Amino acid sequence: MEGNKISQSPKSEKLALSGLSLAELEAFVKEMGLPKFRAKQLHTWIYSKWAGSFEQMTDLGADLRLKLAERAKIGSLEQKHLEVSKDGTRKYLFALPDKKLVESVLMTFQDRDSLSACVSSQVGCAVGCSFCATGYLGFKRNLSSTEIVDQVMSIQRESGKRVGNVVYMGQGEPLLNTENVIESIHKLIEQVGIGGRHITVSTSGIIPGIRRLAKEKIPVTLALSLHAPDTMTREEVVPITKQYPIAELMESLREYQSVSNRRITIEYVLLAGVTDSADQARELAELVRDINCNINLIPYNPTFDESGVAYYDRPSIDVQRRFANLASRSGKTVTIRLERGTDINAACGQLHNAYGK
């Protein structure tokens, strides 16, 4: 897409409309020789009525619907698999036009009406966090902004439920695909109608990406996947620490906060005997003391090697609570994440790996 001109796909591939902006839809109908108001009709059917086919667009004539179907399709994603948890969590495996696979999750919560979608930003991931199933897939490619947005729209079309919150916590490192992620955020706000304050971007600590996101000045929440307060442990579990040291990373958070004035979320995975010690809880409290943040503790959701052995163990609930109590001495709000979808392949990369096998 360049200057609102639609980039033509190969003749054999139809243009996916779900994920396009109104300006992009206007460029599409112009190229088809249609009046401009048709773009608004398409926009309404896609984003307000969640139409899954042109046949559902009943205020368009039959000839026009046929003409559109010859040139375009609604979504870019094909649902390959769906798992539904007893707690209502829905885990999707989508195939992209090039047949590569990505995961998305729809989460429901009993104490709130709004639903949250967890979306992927890349196929695979290059960061290689040692506890994450996505890292074992390796990096394949970035997702386009359209492919990111269409995850949300595909979830809404399948579930019939409105997504109120979006978290970029699926496959991939969002801030290694920064421009497409930023463009997709703008589309979620302006086209889908999800407020910026209901969007969270998670990063393993890509400092240039954090600074680029700050420059954009969009009111999203930044979540840092910290996972260890000391360099030695963090280099083990989050190898990119060698490129972006903890001290520089903390400074980039302060810079982000000075521009955005937004509270940051510190994500911290609890791995038994690795990241869950009392000393590490105290170090974490000290590390974030001057940063306006909340701390979200994540009990490890096991991933397994080819022989079925878990890479790490999960700490007991008593250890989790002890860690939370010590970390709260920073004066920050500390929560232990409410788990969703534990009876299905809900953690990043698990469904993709299982489906591949």
Same domain, yes or no: 240 and 306: yes
274-327 pLDDT tens trace: 999 999 999 999 999 999 999 999 999 887 767 777 889 999 999 999 999 999
User: Is residue 156 in some structural domain?
Assistant: yes
Give the tens place of pLDDT for each residue, 12-31: 589 999 999 999 999 999 99
Where are the strands (E) in the chain, listed by range? 15-16, 72-73, 78-84, 90-95, 101-107, 115-118, 122-124, 139-142, 163-168, 199-203, 221-225, 264-270, 293-299, 334-336
Examine the residue annotation and report whether 103 is marked as an active-site residue of this protein: yes
Pairing of β 122-124 and β 90-95: unpaired
Q: Which of these three, 42, 57, 73, is where a domain ends?
A: 73
Do 196 and 226 lie in one domain? The reply is yes
Query: Is pLDDT of 188 > 60?
Result: yes
Indicate the Cα dihedral angle 332, 337, 338, 341, nearest 10°.
160
Kindly state whether residues 63 and 91 are assigned to the same domain: no
The 3-class secondary structure across 157-201, one letter per residue, is HHHCCCEEEEEECCCCCHHHCHHHHHHHHHHHHHHHCCCHHHEEE
Helix boundaries (H) for 11-121:
22-31, 37-47, 62-71
Task: Name the DSSP class of 326.
Answer: H
Check 83, 103, 147, 267 and give the catalytic one: 103
| Same-domain check for residues 250 and 165 | yes
Picking from 46, 73, 100, the residue at the C-terminal end of a domain is: 73
CATH number at residue 21: 1.10.150.530
Whether residue 153 has pLDDT greater than 70: yes
* Whether residue 47 sits in one domain with residue 196: no
Please indicate, yes or no, if residue 7 is contained in any of the structural domains.
no
Whether 5 maps to a domain, the answer reads no
Q: Count of residues for the chain? A: 357
pLDDT of residue 151: 98
Distance CA 47, CA 43 (A): 6
140 shares a domain with 66: no
Instruction: Note whether 162 and 208 are same-domain residues.
Output: yes
Shared-domain flag, residues 189 and 54 = no
How much is the average pLDDT of 85-113? 88
Q: Are residues 64 and 179 in the same domain?
A: no
Both 176 and 34 in a single domain?
A: no
Percent of the chain topping pLDDT 90: 82
Provide the pLDDT for residue 1: 46
Is residue 84, in this structure, part of any structural domain at all?
yes
**What's the order of all strands across the beta sheet hosting 78-84?**
78-84, 90-95, 101-107, 115-118, 163-168, 199-203, 221-225, 264-270, 293-299, 334-336
**Listed residues 73, 103, 122: the one ending a domain:** 73
Range of the domain at 198: 78-356
172 and 91 in a common domain: yes
Number of domains in the chain: 2
- Kindly state whether residue 2 falls inside one of the protein's structural domains: no
Cα angle 263, 265, 271; round to 5: 160
Q: What CATH number is given to the structural domain containing 286?
A: 3.20.20.70
Of 16, 37, 15, 18, which Cα lies nearest the Cα of 26? 37
In a domain, 9, yes or no: no
3 in any annotated domain: no
6 in a structural domain:
no
| Annotation marks residue 348 as catalytic | yes
Same domain, 191 and 144: yes
Share of the chain above pLDDT 70, in %: 89
pLDDT band, residue 8 (cuts 50/70/90): very low
99, 91, 97: which is closest to 120 by C-alpha? 91
Q: Lowest mean pLDDT: which of 107-111, 123-127, 215-219, 257-261?
A: 107-111
